[in-house]
Amino acid sequence: MRTVQEIMKRLRAEYLEMPGLRLTSNQVERLCGVEPTMSKVVLDVLVNEKFLCATRGHYSRLTEGADVQASAIHEAELRAVHALKAS
């Protein structure tokens, strides 16, 4: 089983590598090989940290600007782990 941190890192890399990428939560589940609960938690965290935005069931990069700083990434990962434990 992969960790929340690994999944978040993978999704960030995919969105950074492919500008304009738009994925549904089902596509994220298949891409990352995760359950719906894990997908929702990770996507929610990436939206909350303003890396992604959700529009009509699709998730895309909020901006094409600079990447998120390491401290913000670490905090987001901790929130995702906490959210998974609470569910």
Number of domains, the chain: 1
* Residues 45/8, Cβ–Cβ less than 8 Å: yes
Q: What is the pTM of this model?
A: 0.72
Take residue 86 and report the two structure tokens written for it: 């609470």
* CATH code where residue 27 lies: 1.10.10.10
pLDDT tens digits for 70-83? 445 556 666 766 77
On average, the pLDDT of the chain sits at 83
| Confidence (pLDDT) at 5 | 87
Residue numbers of the domain that contains 53: 4-86
d(CA 73, CA 61): 15
